[in-house]
Copies of this chain bind each other. A is one copy, B any other.
């Protein structure tokens, strides 16, 4: 049997429109979803880069009213979601459009939740707690990393507790994503590297997840192959073919992880974001090699597949020998990208590790990791990369 009798698996993604210039469809897409008054969620960087002006031009071409909410930061906050939702209601908006990276898109999803459901965003932390459909949501991602534009996740920081809240629900899958690789061109090399490592982490965690299945696996492997081929070049040269490759890698990884969910790298990375405001892609990159080493024995044949997708030599080698190459392959890639490799380099304090481990142990993403780690094991992983 491929799937056990009592388990039903899902596969859901938004409508994808891909290509150089696909941002031009933003007005038409909002209109197609019934929009007349648009809330455009973005951040100040996108505004400076000119993408907000271009988006507004396309909204105007379709005679749409709009209001811009751009008070969004990395690791977006609960109060920003509430502020945006207030604006949505005040201006009687009917469609949300997000232009930006994971932060504006996650904020837009949070705004959507509050726009059609009652209470505060904190009440929806966890799985499937959203009862009312959110307003139509169109995304135009500006990084090839989060996959938030295709996923059923949003992660919002509870600012009072300095904790990241993961919200997972089919209700927050965006309706349409416009993947326009031109938007990546205005990002820094460091950001392309860090968000690319986020994509790679999505693909690897989805591939070894306990909820992976034959519909998610090919997406995960294809994403890993594309990262191996394009990420270094995308970060170093911003060559358009490499940026396109990373755009597709991000889509593929998003399709895999949104439906197979994630694992221990994300469980350990979330507290770093909530506690120290470390960039999410960078946090994943720091933790990926050590978690892969621990996960190895729990998913050996799958790690052999990952090694192959990353370009390992496999002829005349045992599955075990092939799989064991993955941590080294990852460290090579991270070195080529020039990303930090120790938690202490980004401000993590040894004294905080017990508290970080406590949060990681309870993170929703730990549930689908090939093995559930206890607090002591998690502390040891943080120590390994301190």
Residues of A within 8 A of B (CB): 1-13, 15-22, 25, 170, 213-215, 218-219, 221-222, 226, 240-241, 244-245, 248, 251-252
Contact = CB atoms under 8 A, between A and B. Distances in A.
Contacts of A4: 20
A240 B1 contact: yes
A244 B7 CA distance: 13
Contact of A215 (B9, B18, B25): B18
A248 B215 contact: yes
A131 to B, nearest CB: 11
A107 to B, nearest CB: 24
Nearest to A10: B17
B10 A244 contact: no
A53 B221 CA distance: 41
Contact of A3 (B8, B215, B244): B244
The 9 closest A-B pairs by CB, nearest first: A8-B19, A11-B16, A2-B244, A12-B15, A218-B222, A5-B20, A218-B218, A9-B18, A214-B248
- Max count, chain B CB within 10 A of own CB: residue among A2, A8, A10, A248: A2
A176 to B, nearest CB: 9
| Copies of the protein in its oligomer | 2
Contact of A16 (B10, B226, B245): B10
23 contacts: A1-B241, A2-B245, A3-B19, A3-B20, A4-B20, A5-B21, A8-B18, A8-B19, A8-B21, A8-B25, A10-B16, A10-B18, A11-B15, A12-B15, A12-B16, A13-B13, A16-B215, A214-B222, A214-B248, A215-B248, A215-B252, A218-B222, A218-B252
A110 to B, nearest CB: 22
A7 to B, nearest CB: 6
A220 to B, nearest CB: 10
A267 B162 CA distance: 60
A248 B215 CA distance: 7
A170 B222 CA distance: 26
Contacts of A19: 3, 5, 7-9
Contacts of A7: 19
A1 B244 contact: yes
Contacts of A252: 215, 218
A9 B19 CA distance: 6
A16 B222 CA distance: 20
A241 B17 contact: no
A18 B1 CA distance: 13
Contacts of A15: 10-12, 170
Contacts of A17: 8-10
Contacts of A214: 222, 226, 248
A141 B37 CA distance: 39
Nearest to A242: B2
A19 B213 CA distance: 11
Contacts of A13: 11, 13
A216 to B, nearest CB: 11
Given A9-B19, A15-B170, 16 more contacts: A2-B241, A3-B19, A5-B19, A5-B20, A8-B22, A9-B17, A10-B15, A10-B18, A11-B13, A18-B213, A18-B215, A214-B222, A214-B226, A215-B252, A218-B219, A218-B222
A13 B14 CA distance: 8
Contacts of A2: 241, 244-245, 248
A86 B11 CA distance: 33
Nearest to A133: B32
Nearest to A150: B11
